Amino acid sequence: MNDEFYIGYDRSSPPVLARSTRWIAAAILLMALIVCGVAAALQTPAESGTFEYGELRSFEGVLEATSLPLLRSTSDSGVVTRYLLVGSGKHGPPASLMALHGMRVRFKGTLIQKGSVSMIEVNDPESIRSVGPAGPAPADTTIATTAAVSLVGELVDTKCYLGVMRPGTGKVHRACAVRCLSGGIPPGLRIRSSDGEEQVILLTGPAGERLRFDVEWAAREVRAVGKLTVQDGLARLEVGELSLVR
C-alpha cells in the first residue's frame, strides 16, 4: 500500500505526482511558445508608410488643382517637392482649396508618406489661405517616355496605400479602397520590379484628365497602357487603356 494517492484537501501533492505535473506544465508552456513563434514568423511583414495622425503641420506652395491635385513646394535650397493632396476621411481636397488653382497657398494638414511619395491630408479647411501669385516656375525635371508602356499591378487608393491603413492593399482592404476611390482619392497602380522592389504609379486619364474607371476593380490586378512620366519623385501614367486582368 505504498502507491501515492492524491487527496484533494491535502495542501501538497505526493512527490512523484508533483514532479510529473511540473514536467507536463513545462512541456505545455514550451509547446505554446513554439506555436506562437511559428505563427509570428509566418505573418506577412507590416507594410511601410507613415501617417502622422493627429499632428498638424503648416505647408506652403503653389497649388496645382488638376485631376491629380498637388502642392508644389520649393525649399530654400531649391529642392522641389510635389505633395499629393486629399481631404479628411475618404474624400478629395476641400473645394475651398481647389478654387485657388495656380496660386501660392498656405494651410495646415497631416503628412502621409511612403518611400519617395508624399501626401497631405488637408483636414483643417479654416487654415487655407492664399498668399499671393505662384511666381516663377522651377526648372522642368520631367522625364517622359516617348512610347506607350504596359504595366500590370494592383489598383489601389493611394491614401491608404501610403500609410493610412495597414494593410492598405489586397482583398482585406478592398471595401475600403472602393469607397476611397469613389470619394476622390487618387488611384494608383501598385507594381513590383524584377528585383522585388515595390512602388506605386499614379494614374490619370489622357492629357492629364481625370481617369474614368470602375471602382469595383479596386484591389484587383489590372493592366494599364499609357505614357509614363516621372517628376520630382512622382511617377505618373496617362492611361489610354485600362483593363481587368483578374
Instruction: With CA atoms as reference, report the closest residue to 3 among 12, 18, 14, 11.
Output: 14
Neighbours of 177 (CB within 10 A): 30
CATH code for the domain of 216: 2.40.50
| Residue 195: per-residue pLDDT | 78
Q: Which residues pair with 234 in a beta bridge?
A: 231
Q: Which domain holds residue 73?
A: 50-133
Q: Residue 210 has what DSSP assignment?
A: P
| Residue 189: per-residue pLDDT | 96
| Residue 140: per-residue pLDDT | 59
Tell the residue number behind the cell numbers 519623385, with chain if given. 233
> 82 and 169: one domain?
no
Does residue 34 belong to any structural domain of this protein?
Answer: no
| Residue 17: per-residue pLDDT | 72
102 by Cβ neighbours in 10 Å (0-12 / 13-18 / 19+) ranks as exposed
**The amino acid at 124:** D
pLDDT-derived band of residue 142, with 50, 70 and 90 as boundaries? low
Domain count, the chain: 2
Radius of gyration of the chain (CA): 27
Q: Which of 133, 168, 187 is where one domain is finished? A: 133
Whether residue 115 has pLDDT greater than 90 = no
> 126 and 193: one domain?
no
> 147 and 237: one domain?
yes
Does residue 35 belong to any structural domain of this protein?
Answer: no
What are 124's three cell numbers?
483643417
**The amino acid at 51:** F
